[in-house]
A and B are shown apart, each in its own frame.
Chain A
């Protein structure tokens, strides 16, 4: 449990995030418009969705030590399945979401059961292969269901009014905030449970877990299903915020999730949340920056790399791995040790 004192900052932050759509404050560099403008709220909602999705990936990678290259598949499931159900089959929204809930457990259960029979790099490759099969299915548009490169134009009729239209962006924002908070609470409960302890033991030394007399397999499968299930709901929010785009099925998409988690700090309480949020924000700001005149007027040597957000983020990621392996969430501790060392040096002299 969090002690009351340690809970103060997160609770204050959460309160701030809840009232944020009412704040007409301009934050110049970070956001393009005031906080309560639809564009900014949409971006913030996306940041929160990825905070949650990154945390779901961290359950696998950071807590259980499973390097999956197929997490995009389950996110994409949450994007495509409700879209197809509502648009192509003309289902009602509750029916579509019920279907998503069932499939988001059944599919990772089956695919996880198969992929977890191998470990390490082989596991990474099998998950990559399954996700790639998903990508191929989406791209090749079987039976005209997925729309191929074009994606699907969502049928908004069965959706409640409050998730449709630009004026209602704040409701989507709260929905995204609710998602991030829910993922955080579920992940925290799961990590604190006895299964969560076994996950970390598997990450540290799988052989030892077996020697103690536990079978790692069901625990790993549980982590896989839970993480995939949580990611699928992030996908559903992406559907409401952005729409259906085939890019969510690519291997690159999973790699960006990995980048988010490592950027924030793996296996830490807030690391993945911070990483997912920061990555999405940076990606968006860099994209806007690329279009600005002062970048476009630069000579090619500077302009080309500066107008490719993924280049800058990839380079930042390499720098983090090299110089700050704990990610952003290790910064306070690093700063503290720096200050202490200086203070110690001064008192010594």
Chain B
């Protein structure tokens, strides 16, 4: 029982990371029809930006972590907005080229991270001389039904829940949220009504960039390191979450992220024992995707942002 609880909460923590990445991807695709491969670069750059600021300040563990998260968020948002303005906007009406450009950016930015900070993982946050670099309460464990669970898992889950609630409220109750929802449903109709949907594109990219960077920072806490391959490895699972959840659906992404995180953790533990093979969790997720697509090619949710 305690193993099951541990696996479930760890799976939810992982699902929280997937959700943060997938929600941005899903909105961008739903609204603009761009499958953003450069999203992985937002994750990695966000994580490294957060790590970089911790190498330049000396403060208490909590203060450093909050500063790092804020810096990573802003960095991700600026990067996202810049990429939309400089690279995506000029190719409006050329959707294939937009995807190709994000592929080129993903390769180039990925190589740049590699070139600047090297291939080795960096301890996050960077607090030389300290035995533990995270706030001590995050490393401590809480015992639930006999399972000892590291507290940082709860942080990841809580952040994802707050983001989910915030995004949903934003899409439902603000004017720009209304335009985004309408744009996802029928972009040409919104344009025909005299509203310039393109103004929301930069915004959606900035939000996507910020959330991806946030996921990058949280992944730094989850794994206690940042490394140059982080973006790519998380992005593939986020893609799967987006496809299973249905493009443009925040709620769908949340459900799918939880499903993917749990399947991965359960399969990793139970099948690995049984098959004596550590790749079972990842492969199980791939088959989950194939299965869902074959049964429901449009994903779990219809194409509406809610």
Q: Which residues of A contact B (CB under 8 A)?
A: 67, 114-115, 117-118, 121-122, 124-126, 128-130, 132-133, 136-137, 139-140, 142-143, 251-252, 255-256, 258-259, 262, 304-305, 307-315, 317-318, 321-322, 325
Q: Which 5 A-B pairs have the closest CB atoms?
A: A314-B108, A140-B279, A314-B107, A310-B111, A311-B111
Contacting residues, chain A, for B115 (C-beta < 8 A) = 304-305, 307-308, 311
Which residues of B89-140 are within 8 A (CB) of A?
90-91, 97, 99-101, 103-112, 114-116
Contact A314 B286 (CB under 8 A): no
Contact B108 A310 (CB under 8 A): yes
- Known contacts A318-B101, A325-B97; is-contact A140 B278 (Cβ 8 Å): yes
Contact A304 B112 (CB under 8 A): yes
Q: Does B270 contact A (CB under 8 A)?
A: no
Contact B297 A122 (CB under 8 A): yes
Closest to A138 in B: B279
Contact A308 B232 (CB under 8 A): no
Contacting residues, chain B, for A140 (C-beta < 8 A) = 277-279
Contact A315 B277 (CB under 8 A): no
Contacting residues, chain B, for A256 (C-beta < 8 A) = 107
Contacting residues, chain B, for A309 (C-beta < 8 A) = 111
Which residues of B231-251 are within 8 A (CB) of A?
232, 236, 239-240, 243, 247
Tell me if A's interface is mostly helix, strand, loop or mixed: helix
Q: CA A122 – CA B29 in complex, angstroms?
A: 12
Contact A136 B279 (CB under 8 A): yes
Q: Does B289 contact A (CB under 8 A)?
A: yes
Contacting residues, chain A, for B97 (C-beta < 8 A) = 321-322, 325
Contacting residues, chain A, for B165 (C-beta < 8 A) = none
B112 → chain A closest CB, angstroms: 5
Contact B289 A129 (CB under 8 A): yes
B35 → chain A closest CB, angstroms: 6
B43 → chain A closest CB, angstroms: 15
Contact B101 A126 (CB under 8 A): no
Q: CA A266 – CA B91 in complex, angstroms?
A: 18
29 interchain pairs, CB-CB under 8 A: A67-B99, A114-B294, A117-B297, A121-B247, A124-B35, A125-B239, A126-B290, A129-B236, A130-B286, A133-B287, A136-B282, A137-B283, A140-B279, A142-B275, A142-B277, A251-B232, A255-B37, A258-B100, A259-B103, A310-B107, A310-B114, A311-B112, A315-B108, A317-B100, A318-B87, A318-B104, A321-B104, A322-B97, A325-B97
Contact A322 B90 (CB under 8 A): yes
Contact B101 A322 (CB under 8 A): yes
Contact B114 A133 (CB under 8 A): no
Tell me if B's interface is mostly helix, strand, loop or mixed: helix
Which residues of B34-53 are within 8 A (CB) of A?
35, 37
Q: Does B293 contact A (CB under 8 A)?
A: yes
Contacting residues, chain B, for A310 (C-beta < 8 A) = 107-108, 110-111, 114
Contacting residues, chain B, for A128 (C-beta < 8 A) = 236, 239
Closest to B37 in A: A255
Contacting residues, chain B, for A313 (C-beta < 8 A) = 107-108
A70 → chain B closest CB, angstroms: 11
B294 → chain A closest CB, angstroms: 6
Contacting residues, chain A, for B293 (C-beta < 8 A) = 117-118, 122, 125-126
Which residues of B268-283 are within 8 A (CB) of A?
275, 277-279, 282-283
Contact B279 A317 (CB under 8 A): no
Residue among A124, A125, A132, A305 making CB contact with B112, cutoff 8 Å: A305
Closest to B107 in A: A314
Closest to A114 in B: B290
Contacting residues, chain A, for B239 (C-beta < 8 A) = 125, 128
Contacting residues, chain B, for A115 (C-beta < 8 A) = 290
B117 → chain A closest CB, angstroms: 10
Residue among A114, A121, A142, A321 making CB contact with B29, cutoff 8 Å: A121
Contacting residues, chain B, for A321 (C-beta < 8 A) = 91, 97, 100-101, 104
Closest to B239 in A: A125
Contact B104 A317 (CB under 8 A): yes
Q: CA A136 – CA B99 in complex, angstroms?
A: 25
Contacting residues, chain A, for B297 (C-beta < 8 A) = 117-118, 122
Q: CA A114 – CA B289 in complex, angstroms?
A: 12
Contacting residues, chain A, for B104 (C-beta < 8 A) = 259, 314-315, 317-318, 321
- Known contacts A117-B294, A137-B283, A142-B277; is-contact A125 B289 (Cβ 8 Å): yes
B53 → chain A closest CB, angstroms: 19
Contact A121 B107 (CB under 8 A): no
Q: CA A139 – CA B279 in complex, angstroms?
A: 8
Contact B286 A125 (CB under 8 A): no
Contact A130 B35 (CB under 8 A): no
